[in-house]
Amino acid sequence: MTRKLLVEVAGVVCAPVEQVWTAVLGDAPDHPMRTERGDHTVAYQGGWWYRGEWSVTPHAEGSTLLHRVYCVAGPYWAVALANKGFAGFGRRTRRSFAEGLAGIGERLGCATRLVQR
């Protein structure tokens, strides 16, 4: 599969991996997408170019939640052209991730913070 990383964002959730993993699975997309699951990883692929991968790993403060978005259609230049060069996509993705991270923290009753990558 051809894929190009468009954006990567991460955060720390001050809760155990299993609790965060359960919360991540509860936030699944509400539209039809192909889903692939691994050990504390999940990928959602849909539309004609989108693939979002999520993973939860141990961190000294609890867990790290990592989200990566890939373009899986090619050629990339054509996808970028059709999507206006993905202008603002990274910013919107980071904002949405930050909101979701805060929501997980609220549901689990713990602190969260974004990590610069």
DSSP letter at 109 equals T
Q: How many domains does the chain have?
A: 1
**CA-based R_g, the chain, Å:** 15
Contact 6, 92 (CB under 8 A): no
pLDDT in tens, 74-87: 888 888 888 888 88
Which of 21-30, 50-59, 67-76, 105-114 is predicted with the least confidence, judged by mean pLDDT?
21-30
In this prediction the pTM is 0.90
pLDDT at site 99: 96
pLDDT in tens, 3-21: 999 999 999 999 999 999 9
Which residue, among 117, 112, 116, 115, has the nearest Cα to 24 in the 3D structure? 112
Domain of 25? Answer: 4-115
Going by pLDDT thresholds of 50, 70 and 90, the confidence category of residue 1 is: low
The CATH number given to whatever domain includes residue 104 is: 3.30.310
Contact 52, 67 (CB under 8 A): yes
Contact 44, 34 (CB under 8 A): yes
